[in-house]
Amino acid sequence: MTGLIGVHVDEIRKWDAAGAPPMAEKLLLLWDKKHVGIEGWEGFMFWRGVLHRGRRRWTPKMVEELIRSLRS
C-alpha cells in the first residue's frame, strides 16, 4: 500500500525510525498549511500540496496558463 506521496507505507515507517530524505521532508512540509513567506506573496499558502490564496486554488497548470497569457 502506498502512502500520501506515493511511497510504500513500510518505507515511511523506516523514515520515521531513521529520518526521511531531505526532499521528502520538504514535500511533507508543504502538505500542511504553510505560508509562502516571500515578499509579494502575502496571503498565499500551500495546503494539501496546492497553492491557495483565500478560497482560490492555484494548480501548476493554472499558473502556467496565467504566465502564458501575461506574456502574450
pTM: 0.47
3-state class of 66 per DSSP?
A: helix
Residue 45 · residue 38 · CB < 8 Å = no
59 and 25 within one domain: no
Q: What is the per-residue pLDDT for 47? A: 79
55 and 22 within one domain: no
Q: What angle do CA 19, 23, 63 make, to 5 degrees?
A: 150
pLDDT digits (tens, 9 = 90+) for 10-64: 887 888 788 888 887 777 766 667 788 789 888 998 877 788 898 899 888 888 9
3-state class of 45 per DSSP?
A: strand
4 and 15 within one domain: yes
49 and 64 within one domain: yes
Strands 56-58 and 34-35: unpaired
67 and 42 within one domain: yes
**Structural domain for 21, as ranges:** 1-31
Closest CA to 6 of 19, 23, 18, 33: 23
47 and 21 within one domain: no
Give the whole-angstrom CA distance, residue 52 versus residue 32: 12
